[in-house]
Amino acid sequence: SIDDIQDVTFEGSHLDDVPFLGLPEVAVFGRSNVGKSSLLNCLAGINKKVAVVSKTPGRTQQINLFKVHDSNGPVSVLVDLPGYGYAKLPKALQSDIGAQVRRYLSDRPTLRLAVLLMDARREPQKSDLNMMKYFRAANIPLLVLATKVDKLKHEDIEENLGRLHQYFKLPVGMPVAFSSVTGVNKRAVWSAIRDACVG
C-alpha cells in the first residue's frame, strides 16, 4: 500500500545513457517551471528535499533518478526529465533537451507510466500535445496532472481543468488537480505510481 512507502532516495544525474536499475520506472515530463521538482519533493515528504527546486527555469538539464523504497526494499524508479519549452533558452539547448528526452524514450522497456505535468493556470500547450501523441503511439500509460491549483479560485480550477480535458481529449477524471503546496491528490499520485509498477 502507499502507506508502506518508506523512502525516496536520489540515485544520480545523467546527461544521456540513463542506467537501468532493474526496477519498473515512472517518468515525469513537462514544460520547464511547471513544478516537476516540487512534485518530487512533495511525494518524498515535507521534510526531505530530494529534488532541488530551481529558481532559474531551464537550468535542470540532467536526467535525475530516484528510487522508491517500501518495507520490502526498492520497488520503483522515478525519472525526472529536463523541462521542455522554455523560450528563453538558446534554440540549440532546447533541441538538446528534446533529443535527450527522445533518446530516453527510444529504448525504455522498463517505463510503466508517464506523468505529464501542466500548469493549471495556462492555456493548453502544443508541446504537451506533442508529448502526449508520443505516449499514445508508444502505448505508454499516462497520468496528467494540472499543477499549482492552490493559485486558482475553486471555480477557475473546474473551468481550466475542463478546458485541458477537452483539448487533450483525456479520459474521465483527468487532468488530476495537483498542488505541491497543499499536497492535494498526493495519495492519488502515489496510488497511480504503485498500480503502474505492480506485476
What are the residues binding ligand GDP (CB under 6 A)? 30, 32-38, 53-54, 57, 83, 147-148, 150-151, 179-181
Judged by CB, which is closer to ligand GDP: 15, or 52? Answer: 52
- Looking at the Cβ atoms of 116 and 192, the one nearer to ligand GDP is 116
Nearer to ligand GDP, 53 or 138 (CB): 53
CB of 122 to ligand GDP, least distance (A): 12
Nearer to ligand GDP, 70 or 188 (CB): 188
Residue with nearest beta carbon to ligand GDP: 35
How many other C-beta atoms can be found within 10 angstroms of the C-beta atom of residue 119? Answer: 20
All three cell numbers of 164: 485541458
Give the torsion through C-alpha atoms of 69, 70, 73, 78, to 10 deg: -30
Task: Provide the grid cell at 55.
Answer: 529558481
Amino acid at 77: V
- Asked if 34 contacts 179 with a C-beta cutoff of 8 angstroms, the reply is no
Of the pair 75, 145, the CB lying nearest ligand GDP is at 145
Give the nearest distance from C-beta 186 to ligand GDP in angstroms.
11
- The least CB distance from residue 109 to ligand GDP, in Å, is 26
Q: How far is the CB of 88 from ligand GDP (least distance, A)?
A: 13
For the chain, list the strands marked E by DSSP: 5-14, 25-30, 63-70, 73-80, 111-119, 142-147, 176-177
Beta strands at 25-30 and 176-177: parallel, antiparallel or unpaired: unpaired
Task: List Cβ neighbours of 172 (8 Å cut-off, separation of 6 or more).
Answer: none
Is 11 or 150 the residue whose CB approaches ligand GDP more closely? 150
- Cell (9 digits) for 17: 545513457
Q: Residue 115: which of 128, 98, 102 has the closest Cα?
A: 128
Instruction: Work out how close the CB of 4 gets to ligand GDP at its nearest, in angstroms, rounded to a whole number.
Output: 25
Q: How far is the CB of 179 from ligand GDP (least distance, A)?
A: 4
